[in-house]
Amino acid sequence: MSKIIGLTGGIGSGKTTIANHFKAAGVPVYIADDEARMIMQSAEIVAEIKNTFGQALFEKDVLNRQKLAEIVFNNPDKLKQLNAIIHPAVKNHFDNWILNYKNAPFIIYEAAILFESGSYLKCDQIITVIAPIESRIQRVIQRDGTTRENVLNRIKAQWNDEDRISKSDFVIDNVTPEITKAEVEKILKILNIQ
């Protein structure tokens, strides 16, 4: 079975950039947030979200993700409720996905809340991506068209860099594209030797 290498970091740290470097090197990459978005459109999950959070979050049966984010990132109990719906479904999806890559030496499992969700327990090694807080805030504002306050609420809902780093095997400081790419290449060499 393939080794599972967890890839995590706070919102806006640049996990997707790092994941894309691994993909470009031919490594199978599972992006948990992207898969969760797809899973959240399934009839079964939509029904659970409606039961838990109400019909008001839906417009013509389409979930308003922005409204949901505002609710859960301002209320830890609501975030737990959402995670209890989404995480088991993502876990099942990943368990099926990885069967396609049994012969790969390793795969990357990218998840923003790798530690918070407990998913790190199934990882053989972990990479944490860090970046300056202001860069992170600006990236998310530009990417999501959200407010600084919303980004800060999301940051507060996640583990801090120090806690992530203390449980990680590798750390990528995502400051410049050149340094970042060089750090990924260094990690690839180490992982391919093991």
Q: What is the pLDDT of residues 112-157, one digit of tens each?
A: 999 988 999 999 999 999 999 999 999 999 998 999 999 998 899 8
Q: Number of folded domains in the chain?
A: 1
The answer on pLDDT for 16 being more than 80 is: yes
Task: Please give the pLDDT value at position 124.
Answer: 97
User: Binding site annotation covers 12?
Assistant: yes
Which range has the worst mean pLDDT, 58-62, 143-147, 176-180, 181-185?
Answer: 58-62
pLDDT category at 171 given cuts 50, 70, 90 is very high
User: Binding site annotation covers 9?
Assistant: no
By residue range, what is the domain housing residue 91?
3-193
pLDDT category at 173 given cuts 50, 70, 90 is very high
Element (H, E) at 184: helix 177-193
Burial of 173 (0-12, 13-18, 19+ CB in 10 A): middle
45 C-beta neighbours (distance < 10 Å), count = 17
pLDDT category at 60 given cuts 50, 70, 90 is confident
Q: Which amino acid is at 155?
A: I
Which residues are within 8 A (CB) of 92 and not within 5 positions of it... i.e. 6 or more apart? none
Let me know: does 101 contact 107? Beta carbons within 8 Å. Answer: yes
User: Binding site annotation covers 17?
Assistant: yes
Task: Please give the pLDDT value at position 183.
Answer: 96
User: Binding site annotation covers 10?
Assistant: no
User: Can you give the CATH number for the domain in which 81 is found?
Assistant: 3.40.50.300
User: Binding site annotation covers 14?
Assistant: yes
Angle at alpha carbon of residue 109, lines to 69 and 87, rounded to 5°? 45
Q: At what angle do helices 43-53 and 76-97 cross, to 10 degrees?
A: 170
Task: Provide the pairing of β-strand 62-63 with 3-9.
Answer: unpaired
